[in-house]
Structure 1
């Protein structure tokens, strides 16, 4: 009997059975570590994706037997800690993903390991802070406090203290906090008539996200301007909490469930009312489209939200196909080096951002499809900063080679990381939504 590679079929993701006792059972967890790691050892196709796989293979190769049985089981955690759940191995490399009978889901095994480790504890203060983006953002953007926080993040002495005590690397360029939150300042225009397309709802609700609300509100304002220019009635989601992705990456699944209970009832009402829900941060979009449905497969409202959730460029390109997107671009962008973030790639949308940018006259887009290495909170941590920069070097080089006028990524944090890695450059870092707003002359 011939067994085809799972990745040649339409890969299927099994629900995450995180509430079962077996999920958190240490002997059963380590048995699954051994099963999956041994398959990876015999394949090694993913060696160039991140540092988790080289760490595993080095442990095996340098062990007493040259096989997995020569690795101390306690060292398995070195592999878990180096996985930042980008999902690239599952989506682009692994030949043994379901429906292959070996049923390899490396990212969700790593998530299971992180969940076990979180529940067992202790958890670093740094990790709790970095994963509490909403709470920290609310505190950091209080008037007067915001100036102090931003100044401290730029001061060498403060960064040295953060490096030594919190484990936030002194050289990592951190995003500033905004003096005016997006949700407070946003003025969405809902006055236009609803024009449903063949593939798109004609009205939009914007899920702001923690990052856009507290760090780069301009991205959200640009999205609203683009929607208004195209006469799409828009509103903000009435009330929102963090999507839960930082907590997921930490393994704090109970907090993910708590945040789900805050967000889904509000979002489900919008989904059932026929709104397209747009989130301009790929990780947040992925959380609602993929991770929450896998964690809560029996909840109809979670499924309804997943089906209503759009990446902004997915929505805009579909509006164009529906004949409902204006293409009256008045300003060329020149050369754009565009990075496709991992959490956008795994949504299997195709390159919608590039597709729309290439409709702008006198604009040449160079696309880089490779992990930047920042990956949420992972690249901020002192122990992983150097690895983060190493993973990103091919991206930094490829983004610079085109001599771009603009450097852009749908993931604003990845864009910041890439700019830091490129060093001195005349290229301007701008989010793709900002580039579209510029091209429209808005």
Structure 2
């Protein structure tokens, strides 16, 4: 086989050696950026994935030599800043990922460059604040404060101030803060016996994530209701410190480490007791399944938590395989325009959400398998807002073309982004936005919790 045609072997990833001082050697990083950029320039298969690759190819095409060696090293940062570590290029497009001898891991090279930039102190205060989700949530979710913050987020004058001070685009619809946290009203429990032949873990721990706890607790209540209906004993994880994905995307690897030290011990205790740990936000599940194990390749505790971590619908379909998921659905969901987010796709679990929803009689699911363009904090920033909307346009169009009753995404901020993109783009659709867990609760005919 001609090695330029790529490898047919399954992609593998090398550990992230972030604790080695050599990892932060800027000269070595620039050398690797030039090597990988040259390979990408010669391939260009990823040109339609995000804005990092068009930015790179424009820099090359506009340079004096028309090659990577004609691009100023300082302009490499323009490419790095466009990458939000969705991982799709590595998992679905690039033919040169390890074990290919060219050893291209574009997202983790971008991570290394971001880590160098962060260590040099070349990140904005805005970015440090936006990625401190626990601190923001604990403050903004105080009842009176939450109502004030939510009102300010809908006020044009206040948003103008927020844009000028922090660079949060005034046009971006921001998720609300809930005055009542998920944890305070979560209904979990149950002492149902393990059934004969049960292979999937027969009890569940919910790691609600900071987003569900502070912003959209209804998603957590929907998950708890579905678990209760299926007679699966359920507990809450002792706490829900941020998984660390926002800090990872910033390159703040010491920040990731601090959060890992809070989360892993309490999740390890659950894993050792035989609980399946469900995280209802794909980025959070991915953090524990993939990124932390790569950052801590020799940490048995991290590996144990990774093995116990599940996407909720991944878990439901495993139960269904064992004949243990109830299918006593009470209502049809009609047409669902379902967007599978990037951090769901790269978990390599297949389209478990679609498979689950399609079990509901009278339900049609139109799957949209493309980046919506928001990312965690990237799409809220003034300098990237219009790019995020442009990246999302094909998703917005596909959602409208499905003529759905519901628009849904496992990623709640992607779902909000899609609805905003449809409306701001002047497209017409009468669909309701609902998280897939909400749809499953509705299909079972369960009363809303919380």
* TM exceeding 0.5: yes
**Residue 438 (structure 2) aligns with:** 434
**Residue 143 (structure 2) aligns with:** 143
**Residue 104 (structure 1) aligns with:** 104
CA distance in 2, matches of 1:197, 1:297: 33
Q: CA deviation at 1:134?
A: 1.0
Q: Is 118-127 or 226-235 further displaced after alignment?
A: 118-127
Q: CA deviation at 1:95?
A: 0.4
Equivalent positions of 1:110-259 (< 5 A) are 110-195=110-195, 198-259=198-259
Structure 2 unpaired stretches of 5+: none
Number of equivalences: 442
**Residue 59 (structure 1) aligns with:** 59
Q: CA deviation at 1:7?
A: 5.3
Q: Secondary structure of the residue that 2:238 maps to in structure 1?
A: coil
**Residue 403 (structure 1) aligns with:** 403
Partner deviation per Cα, 1:30-71 (whole Å, 9 max, x = no partner): 000111000001100000000000000000000010001111
**Residue 340 (structure 1) aligns with:** 340
Q: Secondary structure of the residue that 1:110 maps to in structure 2?
A: helix
CA distance in 1, matches of 2:445, 2:285: 28
Q: 1:345 to 1:7 in 2, by over 3 A?
A: farther
- Asked whether the 8 Å contact 2:289–2:307 carries over to 1, the reply is yes
Q: Secondary structure of the residue that 1:359 maps to in structure 2?
A: coil
**Residue 263 (structure 1) aligns with:** 263
**Residue 81 (structure 1) aligns with:** 81
Ranges of 4+ aligned residues in structure 1 off by more than 6 Å: none
TM-score (ref. length: structure 2): 0.97
CA distance in 1, matches of 2:47, 2:235: 44
Q: Secondary structure of the residue that 1:170 maps to in structure 2?
A: coil
- Asked whether the 8 Å contact 2:279–2:309 carries over to 1, the reply is yes
Q: 1:328 to 1:124 in 2, by over 3 A?
A: same
Q: CA deviation at 1:426?
A: 1.0
**Residue 379 (structure 2) aligns with:** 379
CA distance in 2, matches of 1:399, 1:258: 39
Q: CA deviation at 1:123?
A: 2.5
- Asked whether the 8 Å contact 2:415–2:433 carries over to 1, the reply is yes
TM-score (ref. length: structure 1): 0.98
- Asked whether the 8 Å contact 2:51–2:82 carries over to 1, the reply is yes
- Asked whether the 8 Å contact 1:354–1:367 carries over to 2, the reply is yes
Partner deviation per Cα, 1:52-109 (whole Å, 9 max, x = no partner): 0000000000001000111110000000000000001000100000010000000000
- The answer as to 2:43 corresponding to 1:43 is yes
Q: 1:313 to 1:6 in 2, by over 3 A?
A: farther
Q: CA deviation at 1:272?
A: 1.1
- Asked whether the 8 Å contact 1:7–1:94 carries over to 2, the reply is no
Q: CA deviation at 1:4?
A: 7.5
- Asked whether the 8 Å contact 1:197–1:319 carries over to 2, the reply is no
Q: CA deviation at 1:358?
A: 0.4
Q: Secondary structure of the residue that 1:336 maps to in structure 2?
A: strand
Partner deviation per Cα, 1:226-270 (whole Å, 9 max, x = no partner): 000000000000123110000000000001011101100111111
CA distance in 2, matches of 1:75, 1:160: 30
- Asked whether the 8 Å contact 2:209–2:242 carries over to 1, the reply is yes
Q: 1:401 to 1:14 in 2, by over 3 A?
A: same
Equivalent positions of 1:239-388 (< 5 A) are 239-388=239-388
CA distance in 1, matches of 2:366, 2:238: 38
CA distance in 2, matches of 1:8, 1:47: 21
Partner deviation per Cα, 1:149-181 (whole Å, 9 max, x = no partner): 000000000111111111000100000001110
Q: Secondary structure of the residue that 1:364 maps to in structure 2?
A: strand
- Cα RMSD of the aligned pairs, angstroms, is 1.1
CA distance in 1, matches of 2:197, 2:302: 24
- Asked whether the 8 Å contact 1:371–1:391 carries over to 2, the reply is yes
Partner deviation per Cα, 1:180-200 (whole Å, 9 max, x = no partner): 100111121233223486541
CA distance in 1, matches of 2:146, 2:261: 30
CA distance in 2, matches of 1:348, 1:7: 18
Q: CA deviation at 1:396?
A: 0.2
Q: CA deviation at 1:125?
A: 1.7
Equivalent positions of 1:84-95 (< 5 A) are 84-95=84-95
CA distance in 2, matches of 1:102, 1:68: 17
